[in-house]
Chains A and B, each alone.
Chain A
């Protein structure tokens, strides 16, 4: 710990920092369209569509054909490898379609989870082998950021110290390699919402996990200004009998981040987990109206929460493509407002609640 051997030049740092800031510019977030082939199978199955390469291409085309309205609310799109090299009906590469809208192209680079022997079903994530060469190639092919997802689970015995430490370490190695190749790493330490634990438990675990992640990033000499964080919001487990308001979720989430995420990180782009489209927007909005000082952008990196309506509007029919695209644009705009704390809800109640619902954070 005595001497510095600079990992990046000043120019490399500036490039990374500029990319990160473009992605999380005010009012913008990320479309996570990086579902793997297997994952897409589940989505398409739900709407009765066959999981072929062509159907996956047609579906992504629906999203990427969105008009210029998305320019002000989408800062980045995360691709799956296959999609990086697909084209629209008229032969335009998808990567180019996205770049032409001024949106930054990202790529999922992890290779899925593998078990940690000796634990209660915990995992780490693989994908470090040859990662540097892959990043260099993706950079040439138009990608400027990447994503790597680690997974932790809350139960009586988990997450264990090993799972936290190992996943934090692997995230830091991935981040370091990305930056060497001009790619901004999105660091995603997802704590699953499975379980019946309450909000406090999730907050506690989230704080421990994020503290470990940022210590690992420091140890690995990662340039924080050239990274983004993609965490879970702090929520109760799906099977928790107690219900919480968006303000409680916001307070717990922002408190956890304030205690662990250095202000140098330019943006936090939440995953939507199992939340519905509306829930994910309402919660993001509450996070952005939370009365605590928030030194990073707080925005979205949503998959399902941006695409669910579009998928069900499409149902695999070309005739429904325009209507499906419209559904996506609507959710994108709603989340763009939520990222500014200006979304007033789908009509009924929530948004109008106001600051009085925020309980002082000494309780968190």
Chain B
């Protein structure tokens, strides 16, 4: 701990910091469109659409070609590897379309979970092998940020010390490697919503996990101003009998973050977990309305909570493209308001928006 051997030059730091700031600029959040082939399969199955490469491409095209997919409300989009190299119907590569709209291109970098022997079903995440070379290639291919999802679960014996420490360490290694190649790492330590634990328990665990993550990032000399955090909101487990309001969730979440996330981190982009589209927007809005000081942006990095209605409107038929885009536009607009604390709920909300999107032990 005695001497500094700078990991990044001032120019590298500035480039990373600028990218991060662009992604979480006011009123903007992230579209998480990085569902793996398997996960896309689950989504398409729900609307009775076959999981082919063309169908996956077609749905992403609907999103990326919509007017709502603009730099006014979307700062960045996370892609799966396959999607980065796909094109729209006119043959234009997706990254080119995205960049032309002034949106930053991101890529999922992890390679899924691996079990931690000797634990109660806990996991770590793989993907560090050859990560430097992959990052360099993605950077050439138009990507400016990466995403890596670690998973922790609450039960009477978990998360264990080992799971917390191992996942924090791999997140820090991934972040360090990304930055060496000009990619802003989104750090995602997801504490799953599975279980019947209450809000306090989730808060306690989230505080411990985040404290470990930021200690690991510091140990690995990661430049915080060039990172983003993608945490879970602090909520009760899905089987918890007690119900909480968006204000309860907001206060517990922001308190947790104030106790663990250094002000140098430019933005916190929440995952939606299994929340319905509307729930995810209401909770984000409540956080941004809290009068507690918040030195980082609080915004969205939503997958399901931005796409569920659009998928339901599309059901695999090209003639439903406009309807799907309209459904998508609504959620984008609402979340853009929510990340500024300006979302005012009017009248009734549609069924798809309030449908819980919870799937037990969600993996991509």
Chain A residues within CB distance 8 Å of chain B: 1-4, 154-161, 164, 200-201, 204-205, 207-208, 211-212, 214-215, 218-219, 224-225, 255, 258-264, 293-295, 360-363
Residues of A within 8 A of B4 (CB): 200-201, 204
Interface centre among A2, A156, A159, A205 (most CB of B within 10 A): A2
A223 to chain B: closest residue by CB: B259
Task: Produce 1/0 per residue, B250-270, CB < 8 A to A.
Answer: 000001001111111000000
Interface centre among A155, A205, A258, A263 (most CB of B within 10 A): A263
CB distance from A31 to the nearest CB of B (A): 27
**Inter-chain contact count A-B, CB under 8 Å?**
103
Chain B residues within CB distance 8 Å of chain A: 1-4, 10-11, 13-14, 17, 154-161, 164, 200-201, 204-205, 207-208, 211-212, 214-215, 218-219, 224-225, 255, 258-264, 293-295
Given A154-B2, A201-B3, 15 more A-B residue pairs with CB atoms under 8 Å apart are: A1-B159, A3-B201, A4-B200, A4-B204, A260-B262, A262-B258, A263-B258, A263-B294, A263-B295, A264-B259, A293-B263, A360-B14, A361-B225, A362-B13, A362-B14
Asked if residues A264 and B255 are in contact (CB atoms below 8 Å), the reply is: yes
Asked if residues B215 and A263 are in contact (CB atoms below 8 Å), the reply is: no
Q: Given B2, B10, B260, which contacts A362 in the complex, CB threshold below 8 Å?
A: B10
Q: What would 17 A/B residue contacts be, using CB atoms closer than 8 Å? A: A1-B208, A4-B201, A156-B2, A159-B1, A159-B2, A160-B1, A201-B4, A205-B2, A212-B215, A218-B260, A259-B262, A262-B261, A263-B295, A264-B255, A293-B295, A295-B263, A361-B225
Asked if residues A157 and B2 are in contact (CB atoms below 8 Å), the reply is: yes
Asked if residues B218 and A208 are in contact (CB atoms below 8 Å), the reply is: yes
A120 to chain B: closest residue by CB: B2
With A259-B262, A262-B262 as known contacts, state yes or no: A2 contacts B13, CB within 8 Å: no
CB distance from B6 to the nearest CB of A (A): 9
Interface centre among A158, A204, A225, A264 (most CB of B within 10 A): A264
Residues of A within 8 A of B10 (CB): 362-363
Tell me if B's interface is mostly helix, strand, loop or mixed.
helix
For the complex, give the distance between the alpha carbons of A4 and B158 in Å: 12
Q: Given A204, A214, A215, A255, which contacts B264 in the complex, CB threshold below 8 Å?
A: A255
Asked if residues A205 and B1 are in contact (CB atoms below 8 Å), the reply is: yes
Interface centre among B10, B218, B264 (most CB of A within 10 A): B264
For the complex, give the distance between the alpha carbons of A64 and B187 in Å: 51
Asked if residues B293 and A295 are in contact (CB atoms below 8 Å), the reply is: yes
Asked if residues A1 and B263 are in contact (CB atoms below 8 Å), the reply is: no
Residues of B within 8 A of A208 (CB): 1, 218
Residues of B within 8 A of A156 (CB): 2
A259 to chain B: closest residue by CB: B264
With A2-B205, A205-B1, A360-B14 as known contacts, state yes or no: A295 contacts B259, CB within 8 Å: no
CB distance from A216 to the nearest CB of B (A): 9
Residues of B within 8 A of A218 (CB): 207-208, 211, 259-260
